[in-house]
Structure 1
């Protein structure tokens, strides 16, 4: 059975006595004077910070061409201008007071200067942590630790937190242990995240490694670093991981049944990275989705379409479904464009003009010369297919087809070729069925004339009609 550590009351009493002693020492006249100096310095820093912050912001906006790290450093200084000015003024006062009077007369001002300086350094250093939530945890933890350390409350506070504990047999879990575990693990996770980003950036610059292997290597590095951070963090504070291993095995079996789809997507993601069938930058078609791969995730693949939509496609769909990869082995894509020309136009000349028109489009590859073939004799036209190659399918297919169609239109118009469309002509071969033309036919009379019910056809002389294309 668990129980509360009986030493908690004595630890709390010791911490309270030390706090009271510190507060009573602040009531001495020369220490009250130093507290007044600290308040005055803070007000001065507050006034000057408002003026200096505005000037610094205006100055930074005019620094065009500066590296990003300089601009970010300037923004950090602007955001912490008040505490920076307070620390500078406090140290200046301490130096003057130590030259003019006894060092003990500036002890409280020096204490405020050290605490404020530590806060500034902690605030600047923790900006290296990318995750905002983790950064806040680390920042506040470091601020509290530094304040307690300089005030001399660190040891009694540690004893009090260590006394706040729960025991289960031989296992003892204290608040101090939990806080240490959180602090150490958070720092290690922040370091792992920083190293992971550094390795990923270096891999992205290495052109000798394929894109899929870069992603796979980055994912493996992330898994290894974060796992090590968790294990080392727990071991550093004294957690026994033997029981945790048995427990995690049992939990893993249960999660395997409940999260089959998630596990399937994770395994499919590893398969995609290993077989290199899909990699960032590839242009793919999956069902009605056509776009290029922006990134490969552990659970899904991000596909960005031409209209700016981003589809998150599960990895399992890419492994088990039929995917058209327009740039799997190379970037070349052939497109077919069908059209028709009049029977009066020479097919040989039509083919030459169509090929020359396609080459005028910038995205059509000239070194892979387009071809044009007759594919049939239709009712109204000779049917052709124009085949040409491009190497930038990610820039779109419909737009390049439209450009080639416009080039064909201009070329046909310039050479006098016609693009026919279906036309129907009805010829009545029996003169007795001729209809006298009206002087002013209307739409209604035209419909009546076309109505077969208006004709009186001889039974022995049926009409003969045909459709001429």
Structure 2
């Protein structure tokens, strides 16, 4: 019993003991045995996971598989190290490296379990591998500090650093342990909320919006309870935090008003089912399909792949066009122009038949064709129909219908008109008469202008002559 009771207790691994193990044959053999156990258990864990490899899975099974894959090697290493340590001690040798290996394997199990939980709680892409490696490095540093006994010294230093808070005083150690406890409890709460969310999403008899509302309510309650339960666990009195209550209320009322409004609006649009996943919405001249509903915004994805993040408050305070509110099908139309000599009943029947043959076109209500108007070059026709799956787009469907109409019109001899202009050219006789009349009118106008200018010219010449005679007499 003493062997198992002292198996995980902290030992005094001083530098002198480590140095002595390198100078003895038993110490080197023990070190080689530890290296061999690490390689053997690593190869065995890889072999087991390779044989049990299956296809893609999701949900709870995916987490269990990821957890087993992460902790299988340290679990095998721990079992092998404990068995080897028992046999090594039975032979009369003193264990050192095997004891270190047992503690390291146990700590590795704890680290990998924590990382597996964080990987399941935090969404993909946010908890990157770099952050995971950094957190693992920090945890290994904590293990080394605990193993060497330096943790007691660091804890005493942190406890001596006191921060006054009103009439109370809180040490840095209390703050750090409180934050750590809150983080651990919140992570556990988020993990439980994730499991409950997966269960709720599998309940098909409940409406999807109702499932989303229940999921968000459960997650919010669990996180709130976790924070309120974690602070007293480390000795932080909740009444001390009342100092920040007024400031937090003012901040929510002024600075965080929009965020609070979006958060509450998210629950409203989910509870009244005015917006659902897959709905086709038009908000601020942007049309797209709802792909995600969060506590703060709704994601709209257009047919071209562009995504818009619309705050939830916009769906409460402004007008939103929901083309899928009462039904998923959408109505669309195509315009076609035919020549004036076309048999219109036949053309309308062809257009209706072509649209009805498409699988994506709804049979009830059935497609229909209409005469829209008489244009300059032809007669305008319109084909209207309902599309069962508008989320797949309209371009391909419209192209297929128009191509089929073109083929059927060509088979029936129905002509597609094009703009026409009539140009009239006058004959030579008429052209000569018009030109002669124009010349005669121009000559007559010239003669009239000449006659009207002759008297004025004569009077001017007489005045000039008298002025010249008067000048000669003066001389």
Shorter-chain TM-score: what band?
0.7 to 0.9
**Residue of structure 2 in register with 1:160 after alignment:** 156
Structure 1 pair 195–367 and aligned structure 2 pair: CA distance change class (3 A) = same
1:64-143 correspondence to structure 2 within 5 Å:
64-65=54-55, 67=57, 68=62, 72=66, 75-76=69-70, 87=78, 90-101=81-92, 105-126=93-114, 127-130=116-119, 131=122, 132=127
SS in 2 for 1:258: coil
Deviation at 1:370, TM superposition (A): 0.7
- Return the match for 1:410 from 398, 401, 407: 407
**Residue of structure 1 in register with 2:457 after alignment:** none
Deviation at 1:294, TM superposition (A): 0.9
Higher RCO (C-alpha 8 Å, min separation 6)? 1
Alpha-carbon separation, structure 1, partners of 2:220 and 2:188: 13
- Return the match for 2:372 from 363, 370, 375: 375
**Residue of structure 2 in register with 1:426 after alignment:** 423
Alpha-carbon separation, structure 1, partners of 2:334 and 2:11: 89
Is 1:365 equivalent to 2:357 in the alignment? no
Structure 1 pair 430–152 and aligned structure 2 pair: CA distance change class (3 A) = closer
Is 1:209 equivalent to 2:201 in the alignment? no
**Residue of structure 2 in register with 1:16 after alignment:** none
CA contact 1:293–1:303 (8 Å) conserved in 2 = yes
**Residue of structure 2 in register with 1:304 after alignment:** 301
Alpha-carbon separation, structure 2, partners of 1:27 and 1:194: 41
CA contact 2:111–2:139 (8 Å) conserved in 1 = no
Alpha-carbon separation, structure 1, partners of 2:264 and 2:107: 45
TM-score, normalised with respect to structure 1: 0.75
Where does structure 1 lack aligned partners over 5 or more consecutive residues?
1-18, 436-454, 460-469
**Residue of structure 2 in register with 1:249 after alignment:** 246
> Highest CA radius of gyration, 1 or 2?
2
1:432-443 correspondence to structure 2 within 5 Å:
432-433=429-430
CA contact 1:166–1:173 (8 Å) conserved in 2 = yes
TM-score, normalised with respect to structure 2: 0.74
**Residue of structure 1 in register with 2:469 after alignment:** none
Deviation at 1:232, TM superposition (A): 0.9
Alpha-carbon separation, structure 1, partners of 2:64 and 2:189: 25
Structure 1 pair 429–268 and aligned structure 2 pair: CA distance change class (3 A) = farther
Structure 1 pair 172–246 and aligned structure 2 pair: CA distance change class (3 A) = closer
- Return the match for 2:331 from 329, 334, 347: 334
Superposed CA offset, 1:406-444 (max 9, x none): 222122122211121221112357774579xxxxxxxxx
Deviation at 1:167, TM superposition (A): 5.6
Structure 1 pair 174–140 and aligned structure 2 pair: CA distance change class (3 A) = farther
Deviation at 1:267, TM superposition (A): 3.2
Alpha-carbon separation, structure 2, partners of 1:362 and 1:224: 47
Structure 1 pair 63–20 and aligned structure 2 pair: CA distance change class (3 A) = closer
CA contact 1:181–1:234 (8 Å) conserved in 2 = yes
Alpha-carbon separation, structure 1, partners of 2:175 and 2:29: 39
Alpha-carbon separation, structure 1, partners of 2:77 and 2:207: 53
Alpha-carbon separation, structure 1, partners of 2:56 and 2:255: 52
Question: Between Structure 1 and Structure 2, how many residues are aligned?
Answer: 414
Where does structure 2 lack aligned partners over 5 or more consecutive residues?
1-9, 439-475
**Residue of structure 2 in register with 1:355 after alignment:** 352
